[in-house]
């Protein structure tokens, strides 16, 4: 069975940056399962998996435009520390939920300088090439319920 719209695809992956540093990997853990054609994984990888089949191994380089987007300076904001009331400790690398002009988003604290906190709404992998090594372990058709929900159920998928 080849991967097409509405396939359920299970695969192992290793994700590296351009320097060869491993950013994320399913090695030694559970593989990832996703519903193909529903934007559940980055577009560049989804495109390369179309037409592949179980047992295939491939290396895919995904550009920022087809990955987590270009890095945008406009998504970096400096805010006064007092705006983060109710938070006792603010540190670099801390994830926060913030209101932005584009609605609520997850942001990361990138600098704390005196009373000024810099927050960054870019995805941590924005602006980076994504180098995937993929090993496809299973391809099957989605169930009607999975299609209705837009995600995978069962062993490696979504649990309700």
Which residues bind to Zn ion, rule: CB under 5 A?
Answer: 149, 158
Q: Which residue is nearest to Zn ion (CB)?
A: 149
Quote the least distance from Cβ 51 to Zn ion, whole Å: 26
61/156 with CB nearer Zn ion: 156
Quote the least distance from Cβ 148 to Zn ion, whole Å: 8
Who's near 52: CB < 8 A, 6+ residues apart? 2, 3, 58, 136, 139
40/118 with CB nearer Zn ion: 40
Q: What angle do CA 144, 147, 151 make, to 5 degrees?
A: 130
Burial status of residue 63 (CB atoms within 10 A of its CB: 0-12, 13-18, 19 or more): exposed
33/109 with CB nearer Zn ion: 33
Quote the least distance from Cβ 151 to Zn ion, whole Å: 5
Quote the least distance from Cβ 145 to Zn ion, whole Å: 7
17/30 with CB nearer Zn ion: 30
Burial status of residue 26 (CB atoms within 10 A of its CB: 0-12, 13-18, 19 or more): middle
């Amino acid at each position: 069975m080849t991967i097409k719209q509405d396939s359920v695809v299970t695969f192992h992956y290793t994700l590296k940056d351009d320097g060869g540093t491993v950013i994320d990997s399913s090695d030694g853990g559970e593989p990832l399962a996703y519903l193909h054609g529903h934007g559940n994984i980055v577009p560049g990888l989804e495109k390369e998996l179309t037409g592949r089949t179980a047992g295939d191994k491939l290396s895919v380089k995904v550009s920022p435009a087809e990955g987590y987007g270009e890095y945008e300076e406009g998504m970096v904001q400096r805010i006064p520390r007092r705006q983060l009331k109710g938070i006792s400790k603010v540190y670099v690398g801390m994830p926060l939920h913030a209101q932005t002009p584009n609605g609520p988003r997850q942001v990361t604290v990138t600098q704390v300088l005196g009373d000024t906190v810099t927050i960054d709404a870019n995805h941590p992998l924005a602006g980076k090439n994504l180098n995937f090594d993929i090993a496809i372990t299973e391809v099957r058709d989605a169930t009607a319920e999975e299609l209705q929900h837009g995600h995978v159920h069962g062993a490696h998928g979504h649990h309700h």
